[in-house]
Amino acid sequence: MLADMYTDLELMRSLTYQLLKEIKDLEQGGGGRGEIHMRSAAAALHAGRACMRILDQGVQIHGGMGFMWESEINRLYRTGKILEIGAGTNEVRKLIIAGELLK
Ligand SMILES: Cc1cc2nc3c(=O)[nH]c(=O)nc-3n(C[C@H](O)[C@H](O)[C@H](O)COP(=O)(O)OP(=O)(O)OC[C@H]3O[C@@H](n4cnc5c(N)ncnc54)[C@H](O)[C@@H]3O)c2cc1C
């Protein structure tokens, strides 16, 4: 599980840092459309999912304690879900990606 978590984390880092490099010089208001919009949505979609997979395995490793709301890993698992909902849900991110791919 630790190996899977590490691999997910490294993939998420690579995609996120690559995207940050690409948007670094974007002028204000230059995002939100076209290729960069699709790539941002893809990075956010992947990062949210990867975080949830990592947190799910974190809970699993902690066994019963991971299920108890008082534990830190449980708090992280519950709050991590916002990464798939906040600032555009996974479904909305997929609509953006598919919409751009189908142009
Ligand atoms: C803790 C927290 C903090 C937040 N902070 C902010 C903030 O700072 N700024 C801000 O602007 N917003 C914020 N939000 C709002 C957040 O961005 C919205 O909750 C999120 O975009 C989903 O919108 P909704 O809750 O209206 O769900 P809905 O739009 O009602 O969606 C419900 C479900 O239906 C799915 N869905 C909706 N439309 C489609 C479609 N066309 N196709 C397929 N599936 C669809 C969604 O993916 C979701 O799973 C916050 C939310 C939370 C919980």
What token pair was written down for 93? 């991110």
Residues spanned by the domain of 30: 2-101
Q: Verify whether ligand 1 is closer than 6 Å to residue 79 (CB atom).
A: no
pLDDT band for 19, please (50, 70, 90 cuts): very high
Task: Tell me the CA end-to-end span of the chain in Å, nearest whole number.
Answer: 39
Contact assessment for residue 10 and residue 62, using Cβ atoms and an 8 Å cutoff:
no
Q: Is the pLDDT of residue 32 over 90?
A: no
- Tally of domains within the chain: 1
What local confidence, expressed as pLDDT, does residue 79 receive? 97
Instruction: Ligand 1, residue 85: give the atom nearest the CA.
Output: 20
Ligand 1 centroid to residue 63 C-alpha, Å: 31
Can you tell me which residue has the tokens 């995207």?
19
Q: Verify whether ligand 1 is closer than 6 Å to residue 85 (CB atom).
A: yes
CATH (domain of 11): 1.20.140.10
Ligand 1 centroid to residue 6 C-alpha, Å: 29
**Cα within 13 Å of Cα(69), Cβ side:** 2
- What average pLDDT does range 8-12 have in this prediction? 97
pLDDT band for 30, please (50, 70, 90 cuts): confident
What token pair was written down for 7? 């691999």
